Amino acid sequence: MAHLRQHGLQAQDVAVIPAAAGGPKGLILQGLDQYLFGEWLAGAPRQRSLLGASIGSWRMAAACHADPVAALKRLADLYCGQRYPAKPSPARVTQEIMGLLQGFIGGHEAEIISHPSQRLHVLAVRGRGRLQAPQSELSTKLGFASAALANLRARKHLARHMTRVVIGDSRDTLAWMPNHFDAFQTDFVALSAENLLPSLLASGTLPLIMQPVRQIAGTPSGTYWDGGMIDYHLHFPYAQLQDRHGAGLVLYPHFSDHIIPGWLDKSLPWRRANKGAHSSWLDNLIMLSPSASFIQSLPRAKLPDRTDFFHYGLDHEARIRDWKLAISASTRLAEAFAAFVAKPDMAIVKPLNF
């Protein structure tokens, strides 16, 4: 708050950009992402760490294209265009997502991993215990049931069932995010043209809905799932960032006004990032979040989400229409942000209060 009052918000001060898991919810950030990566941040190039889980990793991969605006549009079109039968099998969903990622990433691997200033880091989860190498749907269900019960007791107990894997740009050490900053073992692996696509697939692999990714080149052997299982909204020790270039701010475009540590914490209101011993991790974080009135203006007065697949059923055209209407509305978020940057209105800046 003190920095914003004195300096406003300058692109050169942004060192880290997190991107949450959340499936279709991420579509509402299209307009803002296009402005941030196509104009605002592009006008102040510097090394920036881009971290994402699930659709967040896909958004950040788009941001690392030579033409981020075109890549973001392509991602949105492919994501909206998903079509499934009434009861798709995990194999069918995996096939659809693989096709989406191949259409989005194919041919652009080199430019993504060698971006001159941006450093992509993809988050995935590797199973432990029953989830290390489950051989059937039943064993997978039992493994995740055990994980959910452990997490209910305390988030730290989830670490017995899964580890965090960061497949990221080797040019960026993420020194502010050491291995044991929390209860989870964290393995850091170099991102490459070979493992980019399977890493993005693993990062968005929904347990039981999709087939797990069994191996990723260069990573520890094991079974991989959605990075959001551990890092749903990416609650990391950002305040430890030591930045040589300026303020070292974390700019967080988010579809929500709160940070939930893990996917299994969604229904646990006491699990919020502003509570507990690690609340200070967010001291240098600026969140950009849509207002309640903006959300009310969207189709069905809500963000796009996975329940839409059930609501619209086989009426794919209606779902695609409403998702694209929401994406069109997202340009208003970019306009509001640009107006704040040009003339900061501190009255609309609030302390993180979840």
pTM over 0.85: yes
Q: Residue ranges of the chain with pLDDT lower than 70?
A: 244-246, 353-354
Residue with tokens 């302390």: 351
Residue 23 counted as domain residue:
yes
Residue 57: domain span:
1-122+192-204+230-348
Beta bridge partners of 253: 288
Residues 6+ apart with CB under 8 A from 346: 1, 4, 5
Within a domain: residue 353?
A: no
Structural domain contains residue 151: no
pLDDT at 242: 76
Look at residues 138, 149, 137, 302 and name the one whose alpha carbon lies nearest to residue 211: 137
**How many helices (H) and strands (E) in the chain?**
12, 8
| Residues 50/121, Cβ–Cβ less than 8 Å | yes
Is residue 92, in this structure, part of any structural domain at all? yes
Tens-place pLDDT, residues 327-340: 999 999 999 999 99
Q: What is the CA radius of gyration of the chain?
A: 19
pLDDT for residue 103: 97
According to DSSP H, which parts of 154-266 are helical?
196-203
pLDDT, position 245: 62
With respect to residue 225, please indicate whether it lies within any of the assigned structural domains.
no
Question: Is 141 inside a domain boundary?
Answer: no
- Of all residues in the chain, what percent are helix, strand and coil, respectively (each to 5)? 45, 15, 40
Predicted pLDDT of residue 178: 87
What is the number of domains present in the chain?
1
Measured between alpha carbons, how far is 36 from 150 in angstroms, rounded to an integer? Answer: 39
The whole-number pLDDT of residue 321 equals: 98
pLDDT score of 244: 64
In a domain, 3, yes or no: yes
Q: What does the block give as tokens for 318?
A: 């209606």
pLDDT of residue 354: 45
Sign of the Cα torsion 321, 323, 324, 325 reads positive
HSE-up of 49 (CA within 13 Å, CB side)?
26
> In whole angstroms, what is the distance from residue 230 CA to residue 264 CA?
8
Note whether residue 154 is domain-resident.
no
